[in-house]
């Protein structure tokens, strides 16, 4: 049963080929047996899972239907889950049990999903490798000496290793799409405001967005259907109707205009990943699409602007973790200042401290105008570039990452090298656009992905293109040897 996709799970449950409880027991046993090799889970929740599975089976027996009713998933460990540890992979929250459910958790529970556990991640979602976790790094099931990407690396590794058919993730600068590319999954970052951020512990509030990680576009459509929608509890949530994402999956691609930005194919891109993009473009041409070159002239400014804005917002968001109200508190503080300093110094890991310091510096008197305001101005230029491009084309195609997954520890001594791996993904977050990564081949035995970007609220178009591509290719159906 562990080989089933989310869509196949839905069919099996509807056909009574197995029960939700049987499926949950099978996958819980598989997690217990195999996750020691990967460290993809921080917390496994067998009692909760089996209770939810039995409830789903009862709902089906009473005549209720639904694609996700009884389907097992995992949640990235920054979605608050009532009564369950929600740690953000940090010592700061290592003993924090959320008193309520995030809206995403609530929506998926209402749809009947079964929560098998909380997935490992980079601490407070800060990282591109899932090596910045208080609970240890996550390993890539395609090659366990390599990273799975981050910050949603635990979610990605668990799905890729067939421990769970789908999982939630969050994407601040590529943290769904990059691990999807590294582990041969489909990952979708929705339009900013499409999925509620309420109960999702914040890293950078104007950039964070929740979304699905699964083995196919069809599965992502099922998960996004339940996740999306207006939430009055989230001031950034947008009241926009949610279409039936599954209904448009098979729409024809004739006449689709695809843009290839010339700035994507510079010196920083592994040429083999460039070849994968061109091969994907060729397949889409065969399906009726037109492909043309476009320009995003301000792309080169994205990395420095992002790494001012995101740390600035992080320094503000993480100021609440002070050792006073909740979270980690140092032993025997001598005064309030000592409590603050040692609680934060001991509770936060190196990368989180680094970003807090960068962000605080950028927001400080004398530097705010020179750094933060300038970065926001660049952000507007990047958005304007996309708006101009979407007057010429319907979607933009390119690499998801500059390189395939690197070995564990390879970039630890040079944080900037890891930051540069976000080059192709961060612009979607800066502009608030939806983006999707889909499997597109292998380099040295490691998966690589290509990325599609679309105008606001056109997640359905992205899922449609990816699904049609996955009907004529088999990259997404391949599984890591041994898993």
Residues tagged active-site: 76, 151, 175
Please name which of 319, 312, 361 lies closest in space to residue 340, comparing C-alpha atoms.
319
Q: Is the peptide bond before 151 cis (omega within 30 degrees of 0)?
A: yes
Neighbours of 80 (CB within 10 A): 23
Q: Which residues contact 387 (CB under 8 A, 6 or more apart)?
A: none
Classified as helix, coil or strand, 382 is: helix
Neighbouring-strand partners of residue 143: 140
- 250 DSSP assignment: T
Question: Reduced to 3 states, what is the DSSP secondary structure of residue 353?
Answer: helix
- Phi/psi of residue 315, nearest 5 degrees: -60, -35
Closest listed residue to residue 169, CA positions, set 131, 118, 240, 237: 118
Instruction: Name the E strands within 372-427.
Output: 395-399
Q: CA 40, CA 117: separation in Å to the nearest integer?
A: 10
CA distances from 411 to 213, 263, 420 (A): 25, 24, 11
Q: Which of 143, 283, 162 is nearest to 215 (CA)?
A: 162
8 Å CB contact between 423 and 303: yes
**Which regions of 146-289 does DSSP assign to beta strands (E)?**
166-170, 186-189, 210-214, 257-261
């Amino acid at each position: 049963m562990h080989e089933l996709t989310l869509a196949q799970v839905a069919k099996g449950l509807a056909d009574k080929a197995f029960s939700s409880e049987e499926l949950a027991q099978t996958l819980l046993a598989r997690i217990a047996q195999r996750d020691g090799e990967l460290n993809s889970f921080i917390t496994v929740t067998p009692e909760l899972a089996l209770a939810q599975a039995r409830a789903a089976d009862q709902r089906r027996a009473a005549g209720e239907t639904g694609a996700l009713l009884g389907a097992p998933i995992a949640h990235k460990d920054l979605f608050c889950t009532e009564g369950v540890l929600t740690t953000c992979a940090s010592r700061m929250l290592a003993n924090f049990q959320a008193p309520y459910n995030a809206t995403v958790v609530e929506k998926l529970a209402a749809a009947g999903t079964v929560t098998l556990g909380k997935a490992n991640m980079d601490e407070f979602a800060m990282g591109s490798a899932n090596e910045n976790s208080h609970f240890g790094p996550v390993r890539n099931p395609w090659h366990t000496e390599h990273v799975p990407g981050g910050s949603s690396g635990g979610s990605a590794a668990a799905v890729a290793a067939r421990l769970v058919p789908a999982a939630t993730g969050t994407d601040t600068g590529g943290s769904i799409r990059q691990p999807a590319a590294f582990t041969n999954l489909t990952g979708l970052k929705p339009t900013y405001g499409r999925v509620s951020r309420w109960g999702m512990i914040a890293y950078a509030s104007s950039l964070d967005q929740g979304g699905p990680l699964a083995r196919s576009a069809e599965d992502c459509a099922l998960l996004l259907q339940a996740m999306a929608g207006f939430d009055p509890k989230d001031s950034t949530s947008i009241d926009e109707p949610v279409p039936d994402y599954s209904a448009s999956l098979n729409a024809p691609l004739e006449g689709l205009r695809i843009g290839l930005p010339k700035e994507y194919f510079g010196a920083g891109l592994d040429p083999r990943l460039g070849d994968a993009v061109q091969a994907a473009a060729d397949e889409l041409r065969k399906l009726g699409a037109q492909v043309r070159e476009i320009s995003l002239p301000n792309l080169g400014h994205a990395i420095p602007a992002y790494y001012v804005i995101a740390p600035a917002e992080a320094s503000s968001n993480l100021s609440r973790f002070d050792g006073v109200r909740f979270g980690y508190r140092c032993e025997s503080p001598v005064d309030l200042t000592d409590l603050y300093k040692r609680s934060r110094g001991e509770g936060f890991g190196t990368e989180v401290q680094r970003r807090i310091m960068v962000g605080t510096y950028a927001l400080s008197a004398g530097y705010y105008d020179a750094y933060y305001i300038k970065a926001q101005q660049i952000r507007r230029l990047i958005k304007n570039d996309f708006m101009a491009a979407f007057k010429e084309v319907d979607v933009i195609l390119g690499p998801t990452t500059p390189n395939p997954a690197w070995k564990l520890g390879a970039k630890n001594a040079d944080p900037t090298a890891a930051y540069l791996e976000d080059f192709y993904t961060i612009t979607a977050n800066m502009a608030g656009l939806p983006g999707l990564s889909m499997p597109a081949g292998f380099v040295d035995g490691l998966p690589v992905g290509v990325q599609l970007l679309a105008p606001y609220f056109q997640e359905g178009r992205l899922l449609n293109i990816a699904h049609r591509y996955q009907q004529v290719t088999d990259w997404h159906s391949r599984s890591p040897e041994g898993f």
